[in-house]
Amino acid sequence: MLLEISPEFFRAEMERVKAHPASFPIFERKSRIILLKIYGVPSPGANILKQEMLSLGGDAVVHKNAVECKVPESDVILLGTRKHYEALIKKLEIANYFGLTRVRKALKDYLERRKAEYIDSPWGRRIAFGRTLVMGIINVTPDSFYSGSRKQDLKEILKTASYMVESGADIIDVGGLSTRPGSDPVTEEEELARVLPAVKAIRESFPQIPISVDTYRAEVARRSLQAGADIINDISGFMFDENLVKVAAEFRAPLVLMHIKGTPKDMQKDPHYDDVVREIAEYFLERMEFAEAAGVDPDKIILDPGIGFGKQYQHNLEIMVRLEEFKSLKKPLLIGASRKTFIGKALGDVPPEERLEGTLAVTALCVMKGVDIVRVHDVKENRRVVDLLEAVKCQGRS
């Protein structure tokens, strides 16, 4: 009998074979093909990469005209295991030409960098990333796109927070400014009047639950953190209020850096991408560089591709199927897809009130792809999906 082994069960199967435990990491380095794409390598360098990978037992995909240098440069897709890449890095140490120094540094950085295992808030509350976390949404607004998330009365806010905590929420996200497509912002004073009482009440009633504040305004973030909030969740990546980065640096607060094209008012007016994943990744790199230059701790950055924020239906689907590519950036990944339009369209143009099952399907996909946080309206239902799939995933772990 011959069986193809599931990668998730490779270590467990090695144990059944009774291989020496010391050999496990060696075999794991050889077991998984990792596809890495490097952009804009001069054609001679692309040819060298292909030949070196072939000599090591791997391979590389290059432009059809790169071999004769009829194009000035080529993107390169490398096909190899971790062992192949470690060997390639050594070979490239003496190749300081044709853009190969940049390639070597990028490969070395990719192999050596590690995603943070946890992030501590300014107040010592820890957000650990051993499994997919559930972030519950409380919108203290009268106009968020899903009516079930709107909570304005403090008693109602606390009742919702209590239910979320009891249902297994890991984080509660409070937002006082609707960013639905086509929306206009309220004043800063109005946002503060909505958010601060909610943050204070939740913090007083639930001292241990991490609180995220969904805002792009520096003063709202500052006063929310002072009131006991833990995380800044900025849809604009510091593009709408650059002073926000100073607040994040000052408080050493965890922050969600989201991608958006345009503003909530105009973001859905025919957004265009040549390569949606590449363009979002480039945005993340530029925004992280900006944040780190301002003093933000790079280990406290969480990335959110911004489902529905300046994306068409197909863009959202492509992001979802390619989620693992964002993990190359070695940052915790958050997905906020709950009850959004692309789910409704996929289900036959159903309204937000009928998108729970679709949301649960997206959450399941996120868990299996290793997303760190899912931001959802329905905590209990999503928590159950997460718990079941985490139990399944654990079967391959020793």
Question: How confident is the model at residue 263, as a pLDDT?
Answer: 80
Average pLDDT taken over every residue of the chain: 92
Residues 145 and 98 in one domain: no
| Averaged pLDDT for residues 365-383 | 97
Question: Quick one: CA dihedral 12, 26, 321, 180, positive or negative?
Answer: positive
Q: Tokens 């009268």 identify what position?
A: 142
Same domain as 339, residue 322 = yes
> Do 231 and 358 share a domain, yes or no?
yes
> Lowest-pLDDT range, 56-70, 131-145, 229-243?
131-145
Alpha helices in 231-299 (DSSP H): 244-251, 276-293
d(CA 48, CA 104): 12
Q: According to the model, what pLDDT value does residue 269 have?
A: 84
In this structure, the answer to whether residues 103 and 126 fall within a common structural domain is no
Q: For residue 47, what are its two tokens?
A: 């040819």
Separation between Cα atoms, residue 213 and residue 268, nearest integer Å: 24
Amino acid, single-letter form, for residue 203: R
> For residue 177, which phi and psi values (nearest 5 degrees)?
-145, 110
Provide the domain count of the chain.
2
Interval 109-148: pLDDT, tens:
999 999 999 999 999 999 999 999 999 999 988 766 766 6
**CATH number of the domain within which 376 lies:** 3.20.20.20
Q: Using one digit for the tens of pLDDT, what is the confidence trace for 16-38?
A: 898 899 988 888 888 889 999 99
Question: For residue 107, is it within any domain?
Answer: yes
Q: Are residues 244 and 309 in the same domain?
A: yes
pLDDT for res 397: 61
- Domain of 81, CATH number, reads 3.30.1370
| Boundary residue ending a domain (112, 140, 169) | 112
Same domain, 127 and 208: yes
Question: Quick one: pLDDT at residue 11?
Answer: 86
Q: What percent of the chain has pLDDT above 70?
A: 97
Listed residues 78, 112, 146: the one ending a domain: 112
104 vs 90: CA distance, rounded Å = 9
Strands 171-175 and 373-376: unpaired
Structure-model confidence comparison of residues 125 and 11, the more confident one = 125
pLDDT at 267 over 90: no
In percent, the amount of the chain with pLDDT more than 90 equals: 79
Residues with catalytic roles: 340, 375
Domain that residue 207 falls in: 118-394
Residues 318, 353: Cα–Cα separation, whole Å? 24
Residues 227 and 285 in one domain: yes
Q: Is position 11 within any domain?
A: no
Q: Could you tell me if residue 340 is inside a domain? A: yes
Write down the pTM of the prediction. 0.92
Is pLDDT of 281 > 60? yes
Residue 313 φ/ψ, nearest 5 degrees? -50, -50
pLDDT of residue 7: 81
Check residue 5 and give its pLDDT. 80
Average pLDDT over residues 46-59: 96
**The pLDDT value given to residue 3:** 74
Shared domain check, 319 and 371: yes
Same domain, 246 and 358: yes
Burial letters for 85-109: b for 16+ Cβ neighbours within 10 Å, e otherwise?
A: bebbbebbeebeebbbeebbeebee
The verdict on 280 and 184 lying in the same domain is yes
